[in-house]
Chain A
């Protein structure tokens, strides 16, 4: 029986279970024993999904102290001899995983998005070169397999509920950080389109329906961007222009409504994960780069999609 240790997703506790999918891909369903290590108070969402939940006692370690957390994980590994340790690729996780790997003298694969199993080998897949290529990595050496997992890359479908054993971790931390948190403020939502993960962008084809884009952007928690065509016509402000003479953006989702895709516009798009274009001309250049091309009028498209989202949300 393999043993897998999964550290809590401190940003979204319920997502911690998704990392079980990684273990399943490596070892097969029911072929491993799972341990979740939690800093948070609430472990309800994880009950029944893990064999073990190890709760770190309150006050042992600051939630922003990767060094202290490493101590705990290192100790747990010494006791349990895990075959794999999986850390969510959150900002905290990114500081914990490499440190722990160093302490355990084991290899670490970061930002994992997929697992391939071929002839007994486990090939760990991760994007490199800003997502331009995917690397297949083998873990060598004797230490546990360590990975940090790209958020949302895996989705776990729960099986039959397990009898979860909850235990507490109480050993004092020997080497905490000399870091203090002075204060935390809300991240002022700047209006900069470069900071947005979702951009709903309009061009010459949405001259009339441009205000509608804001509705869709709100629904998808994104911002509105524009091609120069709309900026020239005074319909959109220059600050939201994407392109060679506008801003360079790298959202996860770029929705191009009525944008032709001139080379100067495309010069502003870098490493877009998903591109959806809506265009009355299905052969507009931008369509060639799109994951989905909706062939038709952009105004009507927004209407229909908004209805669908409204139904889903209610």
Chain B
């Protein structure tokens, strides 16, 4: 079986400081990490590979070259091929463009299943997996908490999706896109010290626009249909805090707050 995991290297939200005046995120100070949902997807794939040595796992990511070290970390696991799609012309692409770029590369690769995370930590959207599926003309499902390893092969996958009230089991014909969430609890294996010290720098495949041949007006900000124009910090300090007494007025304040926020 051939699995492609599509992942994103994201800034750790806890390390982000927002410079409001200049409308930038102080990204260089931010720690980069594998998006947690994506880590679960990859963990599942590596689990499949562990029990089936013929399984081939490729990890694909689109991002700046600064994502390279984190992609290399993944090569230190049992991943068969790692690909970073990176080109200055892709920077600033919205999800529409990103999924087109990823789609064009992935269409050239053999695969039976695409595994992704559901949500990205930074954007908080699930657009890329869905739009990637649309680009490739595939089915796709978000919010997967479990994939049945015994009913997962090149023809079909059976998996569970959870929402507030229900757990639903679906079967999807493969190839298709399965997007896993953190609630799955799939956990990446540990990297051993010897693997950590291994030099993998020439094992990562770098794909640029030379390979993909997009017109420069179709990618990056030029090709995007949305544009972030402002950033507002939402910090704890910004909360306008009420101190109220434990009396009729205070209780009413709490009550109204609960009601307004839909807790009652």
Chain A contact residues, CB within 8 Å of chain B: 64, 66-67, 70, 91, 94-95, 97-99, 101-103, 105-111, 123, 125-141, 143, 152, 177-188, 198, 220, 252-253, 273-274, 276, 278, 282, 287-297, 300-301, 304-305, 308-309, 312
Contacts and interface: CB of A to CB of B under 8 A. Distances in A.
Given A220-B258, A312-B264, A127 B228 contact: no
A276 B257 contact: yes
Given A105-B96, A187-B165, A294 B244 contact: yes
Given A110-B124, A198-B263, A91 B18 contact: no
Nearest to A152: B262
Interface stretch (B49-57, B63-71, B128-136, B205-213): B128-136
Contacts of B11: 129
Contact of B230 (A127, A129, A131, A135): A135
A130 B239 CA distance: 17
A106 to B, nearest CB: 6
A111 B224 CA distance: 18
Contacts of A136: 228-232
B contact face: mostly helix, strand, loop, or mixed: mixed
A183 B99 contact: no
B116 interface: no
A300 B245 CA distance: 12
Chain A CB within 10 A, most for which of B126, B135, B164, B225: B225
Given A179-B172, A295-B246, A274 B257 contact: yes
Given A136-B228, A181-B168, A185-B167, A305 B255 contact: yes
Given A101-B131, A309-B264, A291 B242 contact: yes
Contacts of A130: 13, 121, 124
Contacts of B263: 198, 220, 252-253
A2 B3 CA distance: 45
B261 interface: yes
A181 B13 contact: no
B252 interface: yes
A185 B130 CA distance: 25
A128 B225 contact: no
Given A110-B127, A304-B246, A105 B142 contact: no
A152 B264 CA distance: 13
